[in-house]
């Protein structure tokens, strides 16, 4: 494995401590997570170990004058020699935040892997542009719909639910992340049923559709199961990345035979990002790492719904999915939870054109049914594109009018 001798990857931490000498603490991290000990080493050993030694890049102390206990913190950036770890995400994460994650009130808030490290990852196969190309939709946000309920349904019920969503003109439909292999809707049968419903809907709407089948099973069977799903007609995969690990996603994304977009579900992310004091920040977890590992779409809690993530953090996730600073293709941000047509102006205003408007209840809860729910979303998107308010557009578009009556319009 060739590494240039002098490339470093960076990690930034927020460390809360009322009394710590932060500069000393930073030095302890740089040494402790690399060569282990430094001061006790003889000079000859130091010379040999120097290239493996972590470096303190910056220590930025925040000490409000009237600080209450627990408010004093520092943002510390450490550079880790690429020489120390192999080019895979588990090795990177264990290096920068393995043991350290258990060392008091410390949160990993940013990462900047070296270009050498990043070059090992193919990233998203399709990315924003590729997904748009598959659908032939280049001039508006995409609309995604989610199954309302999945467990205990037989194939006929599942197919009908799929068909109704698809008839509304949505671009993407995803399985529920809690749908696993089961006797009522086994993988091949489920995919065949939904793919045939997609074809039926396409004849009615003239619109292409990507169906993200939930990819499940034991880790070492994932590739086989992905290929089974694709052979049965799946043209997308949904993946619970955090339950399996980023490396599983990277392996799937790099496999030339798994030639469909992958949507990353944020299941379990709440175990990592919400605390100010512990864990891994949402932009690192659901933004940078998902994109580097190869997610074409990354779902995360919207700032508008029931599962709340602060808007600043939300937009930072989006930035990391879309920034040109990474060599990997860009990934679609999919702010999710609590989305209804009345939020579309806000979503498009906050997230710009490259966003997926993702709805469950906002489609299925429409008084006219799921097909009308999908149409209401499409009409809301069209209204904004035409420079009209939703209320103006709703005068001539019944599905949108009914949706606004049901959920209202949010402007902030």
Active site residues: 99
Total Cβ atoms within 10 A of residue 274? 16
Contact 133, 66 (CB under 8 A): no
Give phi and psi for 332, each to the nearest 5: -70, 125
Gap between the Cα atoms of 261 and 241, Å rounded: 14
Residue 27 CA to residue 23 CA, distance in Å, equals 6
Rounded (to 5) percent helix, strand, coil in the chain: 45, 15, 40
Q: How many CA atoms lie within 13 A of 95 on its CB side?
A: 27
Burial status of residue 295 (CB atoms within 10 A of its CB: 0-12, 13-18, 19 or more): buried
H helix runs in 85-148, sequence order: 89-97, 115-118, 127-135
Q: From CA 149, how far away is CA 278, in angstroms rounded?
A: 34
**Residues 86, 279: Cα–Cα separation, whole Å:** 23
Tokens of residue 57, six digits: 């890049």
Q: What is the DSSP letter of 288?
A: I
Give the number of residues written for the chain: 412
């Amino acid at each position: 494995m060739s590494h240039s001798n002098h490339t470093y990857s960076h990690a930034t931490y927020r460390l809360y401590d009322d009394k710590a000498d932060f500069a000393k603490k930073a030095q302890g991290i740089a040494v402790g997570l690399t060569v282990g000990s430094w001061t006790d080493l003889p000079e000859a050993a130091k010379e040999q170990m120097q290239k493996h030694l972590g470096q303190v890049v910056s220590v930025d102390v925040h000490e409000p004058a009237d600080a209450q206990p627990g408010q004093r913190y520092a943002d510390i950036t450490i550079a880790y020699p690429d020489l120390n770890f192999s080019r895979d995400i588990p090795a990177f994460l264990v290096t920068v935040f393995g043991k350290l994650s258990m060392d008091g009130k410390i949160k990993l808030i940013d990462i900047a892997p070296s270009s050498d490290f990043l070059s090992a990852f193919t990233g998203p196969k399709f990315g924003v542009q590729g997904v748009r190309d598959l659908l032939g939709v280049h001039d508006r946000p995409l609309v995604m719909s989610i199954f309302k309920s999945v467990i205990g349904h037989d194939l006929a019920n599942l197919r009908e639910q799929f068909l109704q969503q698809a008839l509304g003109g949505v671009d993407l439909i995803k399985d529920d992340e809690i749908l696993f292999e089961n006797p009522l809707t086994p993988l091949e049968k489920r995919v065949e049923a939904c793919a045939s419903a997609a074809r039926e809907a396409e004849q009615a709407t003239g619109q292409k559709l990507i169906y993200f089948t939930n990819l499940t099973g034991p880790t070492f069977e994932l590739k086989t199961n992905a290929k089974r799903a694709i052979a049965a007609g799946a043209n997308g995969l949904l993946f619970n990345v955090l339950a399996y690990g980023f490396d599983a996603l990277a392996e799937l994304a790099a496999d030339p035979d798994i030639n469909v977009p992958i949507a990353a579900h944020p299941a379990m992310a709440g175990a990592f990002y919400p605390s100010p004091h512990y864990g891994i920040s949402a932009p690192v977890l659901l933004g940078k790492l998902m994109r580097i590992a190869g997610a074409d779409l990354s779902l995360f809690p919207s700032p508008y719904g029931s599962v709340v993530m602060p808007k600043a953090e939300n937009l930072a996730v989006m930035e990391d999915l879309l920034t040109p600073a990474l060599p990997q293709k860009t990934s679609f941000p999919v702010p999710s939870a609590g989305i209804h047509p009345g939020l579309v102006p806000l979503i498009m205003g906050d997230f710009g054109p490259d966003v997926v408007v993702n709805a469950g209840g906002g489609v299925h809860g429409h008084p006219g049914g799921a097909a009308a729910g999908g149409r209401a979303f499409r009409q809301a998107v069209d209204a904004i594109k035409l420079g009209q308010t939703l209320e103006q557009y709703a005068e001539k578009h019944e599905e949108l009018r009914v949706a606004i009556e049901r959920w209202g319009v949010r402007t902030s």
